[in-house]
Structure 1
Amino acid sequence: MDFESLVKHISTIQNTLQAQAAHAVNLALTSRNWLMGCYIVEFEQHGEDRAAYGEQLLKKLEQRLKTKGLNERRFREFRRLYLVYPQLKEPISQYIASQIQIRQSLTAEFTEPIRRLVTAESENGVWKLSTEHPQTETWMIPADRLFNRLSSTHLNTISGIENPVKRAFYEMETMRGCWSVKELERQIASLYYERSGLSKNKEALSALVQQQATLLQPKDVINTPVTLEFLGLNERALVTENDLEQSILDNLQRFLLELLCKGLHNISYANKFIMQSDLN
């Protein structure tokens, strides 16, 4: 093995395991978000004291938990994620079952609701959303692909789309091009779905979009506020070298402007003083 081979092997190990770590974090985050949404819907529909909270439930939940990253807005997103993607129950239940440490740490009080809510044994109507439109199953993306191929942020963004066909379009295109979340948001904002529908050559348009797209990187999964909050890390970790450079330039620009303004003010004052002296 020569030096170049060593460099290649080290680089491969770094990139492969970094991607694996990002994937592991993402699976846990997606599972957390979906399960929280599941429990919220379950409580709203069947909670013993749900009438006491009503529309204030999510706000009260935020106030009671006092956990960074778990606020009313996020709870709404988690609930929406669960309602839009009830089919994720299968891959998430398999994921939970495969995590030995998770199983061992869960108490009986917690595992029973998980078993009842996350497995197909539930008969309380929570899962009815997954079978209300059987005609759509032929084009729906398999749940295991959604769970394993899309990040929690991708799923959160796409779940905000009401049209199920449009959702499936962006799911497929995101997986096909391995888009970053910013790229997904950009394509939604540019009406890519609508443009594709009007295009005579859809394949050519898709190829052009994918060629120009920004690809997802492992750091894009980890280096987000949601992930950092989930891991209990300080958001200052989000500061990149480019951010630091831009901050320095912004502060330097502000300093120079203040200095220039003060200089002009002093010059103006001096000229006024000289003119008054001449008049005297």
Structure 2
Amino acid sequence: MNDFPTTDTLYHHISELVQQARQQIQRSVNTAMVHTYWHIGRLIIEHEQQGDSRAAYGRQQLEQLSIRLTGEFGKGFDARNLRNMRAFYQCFPIWNAVRPELSWTHYRVLLRVENSDARAWYMDEAAGQHWSSRALERQIGTLYYERLLSSREKDPVAAEAQEKTPPSA
């Protein structure tokens, strides 16, 4: 009897390992990017604005910074994204409160939620339920948090959200 796996079995084992490694790398890259963008937001707020919510020279300063960063590091550092990084730090000033399993796209969606309690709830749900950024955007768009708060019967609202939220890819 041959104890060695068939070529198909071997292929599937190797394929699974490669897929797991790629997912792990993607999670590591996302975590590093979110961490970096949070720190960039912190630097913009603390060093260039001395803690004010907006620098007196804000827009022009961010434009100049954007040009220099884009020249050195490529896309991803346009003025709008720098403003998003600044807003990210303002919304989540404590790094330990940031959920590393969420991507920068998740956080850009969360920045649009003005209510800080709702934002924190959506962040925790997105992480806990493994929502894709599209699923998160959909839940925010349908006011899932607000409907749960106002509903006397929570189960039907939660069931509807689960039914219409595909698992993340």
The one-letter code sitting in structure 2 at the alignment partner of 1:179 is W
Q: Which residue of structure 2 lines up, in the alignment, with residue 74 of structure 1?
A: 81
Match of 2:118 among 162, 166, 180: 166
Shift of 1:177: 2.0
Give the whole-Å Cα distance in 2 for the aligned partners of 1:205 and 1:198: 10
Q: Which residue of structure 1 lines up, in the alignment, with residue 9 of structure 2?
A: 5
Q: Which residue of structure 1 lines up, in the alignment, with residue 50 of structure 2?
A: 45
Match of 2:33 among 7, 29, 34: 29
The answer to whether the Cα contact below 8 Å between 1:178 and 1:216 also exists between their aligned partners in 2 is: yes
Structure 2 gaps, min length 5: none
RMSD, matched Cα: 2.4
The one-letter code sitting in structure 1 at the alignment partner of 2:50 is Q
User: Deviation per CA, 1:39-90, whole angstroms, max 9, x where unpaired?
Assistant: 11121117xxx76x354221222234344221111111000111111111x5
CA separation of 1:214 and 1:12: change in aligned 2, threshold 3 A: same
Shift of 1:154: 0.7
User: How many residues were matched structurally?
Assistant: 159
Q: Which residue of structure 2 lines up, in the alignment, with residue 153 of structure 1?
A: 105
1:14 aligns with 2:18: yes
Give the whole-Å Cα distance in 2 for the aligned partners of 1:35 and 1:72: 16
Give the whole-Å Cα distance in 2 for the aligned partners of 1:172 and 1:74: 23
Give the whole-Å Cα distance in 1 for the aligned partners of 2:16 and 2:163: 24
Shift of 1:194: 1.8
What TM-score do the two structures reach when normalised by structure 2?
Answer: 0.80
SS state at 1:45 partner: coil
The answer to whether the Cα contact below 8 Å between 1:166 and 1:193 also exists between their aligned partners in 2 is: yes
Which has more radius of gyration?
1
The answer to whether the Cα contact below 8 Å between 2:70 and 2:76 also exists between their aligned partners in 1 is: no
Judging by fraction of residues, say which structure has more helix: 1
User: Deviation per CA, 1:212-248, whole angstroms, max 9, x where unpaired?
Assistant: 313323xxxxxxxxxxxxxxxxxxxxxxxxxxxxxxx
What TM-score do the two structures reach when normalised by structure 1?
Answer: 0.51
